[in-house]
């Protein structure tokens, strides 16, 4: 359902009008028959003059462009960005970062990295987070990921990395997964990758929603002020909803139930007016300050801990409109880190320097033309005037005879603008021509140890389980051994916990094998930040906006109770669906009809964030008799999600293996996140010292507690107690 207040779409041409009903060719010729080719008689051969068929088929044959080698599977949305104030003026002259009145249209694309376009959304992978700002000074592309570092230090290794992580070439398996020998063979011989491996094995690689995912520019960039002052920076996107993750078992099931899970979530949020919001932040530091860090800020495998340099939040992006056409916008959008505006400049990060060539070359290959900037989704929203001409798919029609500079026939236009034009920062550079990395790039374990030390106990357990899965898929034992040795040098704890799970018993940190490779023996630094709160997903607040709740119901449910809950959830911008044994509508015991959104065959618990079971004796009896309903509840419990139950539904919960309730309906042991009306009523009676509590008061209090539990999102202490569903 389209929102009435949706952002209006600009009209492209008369042919795009909804009022135009006549089918035409690309040239506007009306078509009388779109069912049959032009033939020599009813059973004769097709005539070459059938221009309608030839044009239609030719366009179909060429309607695909080469998919991206990486980041092929993506989803995107339009939005707006503006800064809060002009406080960044001391650091940059980029107008969109210093003028609060300058609201900038944006287009943001989220993506997986490894899989093909047809792969699933929920695979373990890095996620791309790329934003195109249509500023008054030109397009600025912030092309980053949801992880602040990268696998490699130098761009010359990028083809090797991608070849290794992609499906193996002899059989093109596995799809969208690093769990194979080629990748881990490469990783085990490339110690600079160690820090990134822990990020990818963590819950960061399993985002619940694009709206609940951080973004990072990865590299160290340079800001330049109006006075020519240089400030180095790391760039962040901070989601206002907080960060959330899926669990590994969920991701595998979702890939089968709904491979478009993250894509659908983004689309439905925007269609329902639950707009994703992100704050843009900068870590700002000088060259002198950077020289005092115990790592090299030009090394893209390193972060700048937020305890060392806090993130300064300067503005907000709101994604408020879905694309009109997936191919024309999401698929054809072309990003390039070299698309910058005055006030934003580069550093000598060797991976960034390689990207400045690679991205432009890639877009020319995809579009078979240097004119990709003229496609509507890529076109700047400011005047463009230069002497570029011709080439495939030229859109701009230029008049006049002058196509060179300098000239006098057109009064010297277009001409340079030394006041407003882009000027590279005058950084002094000199050195011997060679192929080498600085000594300061050789510490590959200190920040990996920082990441591990910053994880909560459940997060560490998830990393160990991820190693068990990923390395367990590796066939060659010598590769497994090298990986465990690599992790030993991060923390013996990782090796000791994960090694036996993958059959590696000789656990030590001997890295002599590296001396036989081209990589230097890694060094290690012990000083610096020991742990960082910003690295754990368990720190910080989470909004419940955009969460999805399943209401399990059958005939005999108390319909009014369902309506009250839905109203309470919708007021918090929580999406909810009634899930029942059958589709259509169900009769409430109170004569309130309840419309069914999904049945137990069309959906699953893994697609929701919480479960609610309303009362009604017949409703509970029907659910107890449904194996699919019981599986739904037990699976949600196993995945540590909030579960709420009213009246008779409490007995349904207490009878399920793994869910222990006492006589008052209170969750015993550590089964937090199970909220029952019986326990709520007992708590209210004790608080008010009365014999009984009205059902309406109990329902209101239960809904409040349920909403609070949804905000906590997961109750990890259940993980070791749950019985597999």
- Model confidence over 518-552: pLDDT tens digits? 444 456 665 667 899 999 999 888 899 999 999 99
Average the pLDDT over each of 342-351, 396-405, 654-663 and give the range with the smallest value.
654-663
Q: Is 145 a catalytic residue?
A: yes
Residue 161, C-beta contacts closer than 8 angstroms, at least 6 positions apart: 151, 152, 186
- Residue ranges of the chain that CATH labels 1.20.1370.20: 445-535
Task: Check if the beta carbon of residue 487 is closer than 8 Å to that of residue 510.
Answer: no
Could you please report the per-residue DSSP string of 453-519? HHS-HHHHHHHHHHHHHHHHT---HHHHHHHHHHHHTT-HHHHHHHGGGGT--------GGGGGSSS
pLDDT digits (tens, 9 = 90+) for 393-451: 888 888 888 888 888 888 878 887 888 888 888 888 778 877 888 999 999 999 999 99
CA quadruple 337, 212, 310, 308: dihedral positive or negative?
A: negative
Q: Is 339 a catalytic residue?
A: no
Place of tokens 């309303």: 614
- The whole-number average pLDDT for the span 65-83 is 94
- The whole-number average pLDDT for the span 240-258 is 96
Alpha carbon separation from 6 to 3, 327, 573 (Å, rounded): 5, 21, 17
Per-state percent for the chain, helix, strand, coil, to nearest 5 = 35, 15, 50
**CATH, range 23-63:** 4.10.91.20
- Give residue 647's pLDDT band: very low, low, confident or very high (50, 70, 90): confident
Return the closest-CA partner of residue 233 out of 170, 297, 161, 276: 297
Residues 673/676/682/686 CA torsion (nearest 10 deg): 40
User: For the whole prediction, is pTM greater than 0.85?
Assistant: yes
330 secondary structure, DSSP code? I
**CATH, range 74-374:** 2.40.180.10
Task: Check if the beta carbon of residue 168 is closer than 8 Å to that of residue 179.
Answer: no
Task: Check if the beta carbon of residue 472 is closer than 8 Å to that of residue 502.
Answer: yes
Mean pLDDT of the chain: 88
Task: Produce one character per residue of 558-583: b if its CB has 16 or more CB atoms within 10 Å, e if not.
Answer: bbbbbebbbebbeeebbbbbbbbbee
Place of tokens 């060679």: 434
Which entry of 71, 78, 180, 339 is annotated as an active-site residue? 71
Q: What pairs with residue 232 in β-bridges?
A: 222, 285
- Residue ranges of the chain that CATH labels 2.40.180.10: 74-374
- Residue ranges of the chain that CATH labels 4.10.91.20: 23-63
CA quadruple 359, 365, 371, 372: dihedral positive or negative?
A: negative
Q: What is the structure's pLDDT at 667?
A: 53
Return the closest-CA partner of residue 299 out of 460, 191, 169, 407: 191
Q: Which CATH architecture has domain 548-718?
A: 3-Layer(aba) Sandwich (3.40)
Average the pLDDT over each of 348-352, 512-516, 634-638 and give the range with the smallest value.
512-516
- Residue ranges of the chain that CATH labels 3.40.50.880: 548-718
Is the model's pLDDT at 109 over the cut of 90? Answer: yes
Task: Check if the beta carbon of residue 293 is closer than 8 Å to that of residue 308.
Answer: yes
- Name the token pair of 519: 């990589």
- Name the token pair of 312: 């300064």
512 secondary structure, DSSP code? G
Superfamily name and number for 445-535:
Catalase, four-helical domain (1.20.1370.20)
Q: What are phi and psi for residue 148, nearest 5 degrees?
A: -80, 0
Q: What is the structure's pLDDT at 242?
A: 95
- Give residue 663's pLDDT band: very low, low, confident or very high (50, 70, 90): low
Strands (E), 42-93: 74-83
pLDDT digits (tens, 9 = 90+) for 170-217: 999 999 999 999 999 999 999 999 999 999 999 999 999 999 999 999
Task: Provide the CA 428 distance to its chain's centre, in angstroms.
Answer: 38
* Interatomic CA distance for residues 262 and 250, integer angstroms: 13
- The whole-number average pLDDT for the span 634-661 is 86
pLDDT digits (tens, 9 = 90+) for 120-142: 999 999 999 999 999 999 999 99
Which entry of 78, 145, 320, 339 is annotated as an active-site residue? 145
């Amino acid at each position: 359902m389209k929102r009435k207040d949706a952002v209006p779409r600009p009209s492209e041409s008369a042919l795009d009008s909804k009022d135009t009903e006549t089918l035409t060719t690309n040239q506007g010729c009306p078509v009388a028959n779109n069912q049959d080719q032009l033939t020599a008689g009813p059973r004769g051969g097709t005539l070459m003059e059938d221009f309608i068929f030839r044009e239609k088929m030719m366009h179909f044959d060429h309607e695909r462009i080469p998919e991206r080698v990486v980041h092929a599977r993506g989803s995107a949305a339009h939005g707006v960005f503006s800064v809060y104030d002009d406080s960044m003026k001391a650091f940059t002259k980029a107008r969109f970062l210093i003028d609060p009145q300058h609201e900038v249209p944006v287009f943001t694309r989220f993506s997986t990295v490894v899989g093909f376009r047809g792969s699933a959304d929920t695979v373990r992978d890095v996620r791309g987070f790329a934003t195109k700002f249509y500023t008054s000074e030109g397009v600025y592309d912030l092309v980053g990921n949801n992880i602040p570092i990268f696998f490699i230090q130098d761009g010359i290794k990028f083809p090797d990395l991608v070849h290794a992580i992609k499906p193996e070439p002899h059989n093109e398996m596995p799809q969208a997964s690093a769990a194979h020998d080629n990748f881990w063979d490469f990783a085990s011989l490339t110690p600079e990758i160690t820090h990134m491996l822990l990020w990818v094995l963590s819950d960061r690689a399993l985002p619940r929603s694009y709206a609940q995912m951080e973004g990072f520019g990865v590299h160290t960039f340079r800001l330049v002020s109006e006075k020519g002052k240089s400030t180095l920076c790391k760039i962040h996107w901070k989601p206002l909803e907080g960060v959330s993750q899926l669990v590994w078992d969920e991701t595998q099931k979702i890939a089968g139930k709904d491979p478009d899970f993250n894509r659908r979530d983004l689309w439905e949020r925007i269609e329902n007016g639950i707009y994703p919001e992100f704050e843009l932040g900068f870590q700002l530091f000088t060259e002198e300050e950077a020289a005092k860090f115990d790592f090299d800020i030009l090394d893209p495998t390193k972060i700048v801990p937020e305890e060392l340099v806090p993130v300064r939040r300067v503005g907000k992006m709101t994604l408020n409109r879905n694309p009109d056409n997936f191919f024309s916008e999401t698929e054809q959008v072309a990003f390039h880190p070299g698309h910058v505006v005055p006030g934003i400049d580069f550093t000598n990060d060797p991976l960034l320097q390689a990207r400045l060539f690679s991205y432009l070359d890639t877009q020319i290959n995809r579009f078979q033309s240097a004119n990709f900037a003229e496609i509507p989704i890529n076109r700047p929203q400011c005047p463009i005037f230069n002497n570029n001409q011709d080439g495939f798919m030229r859109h701009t029609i230029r008049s006049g005879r002058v196509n060179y500079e300098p000239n006098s026939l057109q009064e010297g236009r277009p001409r340079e603008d030394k006041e407003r034009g882009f000027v590279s920062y005058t950084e002094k550079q000199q050195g011997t021509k060679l192929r080498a990395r600085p000594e300061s790039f050789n510490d590959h374990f200190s920040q990996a140890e920082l990441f591990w030390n910053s994880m909560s106990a459940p997060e560490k357990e998830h990393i160990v389980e991820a190693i068990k899965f990923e390395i367990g898929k590796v066939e060659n034992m010598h590769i497994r051994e090298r990986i465990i040795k690599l992790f030993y040098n991060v923390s013996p704890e990782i090796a000791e916990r994960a090694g036996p799970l993958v059959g590696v018993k000789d656990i030590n940190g001997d890295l002599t094998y590296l001396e036989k490779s081209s990589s230097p023996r890694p060094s290690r630094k012990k000083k610096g930040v020991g742990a960082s709160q910003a690295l754990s997903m368990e720190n910080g607040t989470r909004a419940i906006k955009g969460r999805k709740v399943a209401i399990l119901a059958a005939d005999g449910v108390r319909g009014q109770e369902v309506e009250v809950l839905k109203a309470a959830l919708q007021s918090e911008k929580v999406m909810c669906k009634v899930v029942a044994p059958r589709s259509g509508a169900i009769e409430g015991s109170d004569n309130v009809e309840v419309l069914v959104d999904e049945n137990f065959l069309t959906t699953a618990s893994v697609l929701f964030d919480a479960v609610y079971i309303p009362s009604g004796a017949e409703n509970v009896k029907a659910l107890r008799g449904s194996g699919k309903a019981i599986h739904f509840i037990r699976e949600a419990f196993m995945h540590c999600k909030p579960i709420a139950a009213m009246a008779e539904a409490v007995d349904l919960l207490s009878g399920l293996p793994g869910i222990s309730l006492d006589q008052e309906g209170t969750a015993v042991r550590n089964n937090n996140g199970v909220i029952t009306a019986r326990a709520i009523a007992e708590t209210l009676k004790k608080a008010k010292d009365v014999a009984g509590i009205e059902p309406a008061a109990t329902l209101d209090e239960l809904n409040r507690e349920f909403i609070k539990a949804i905000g906590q999102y997961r109750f990890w202490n259940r993980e070791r107690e749950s019985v597999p569903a």
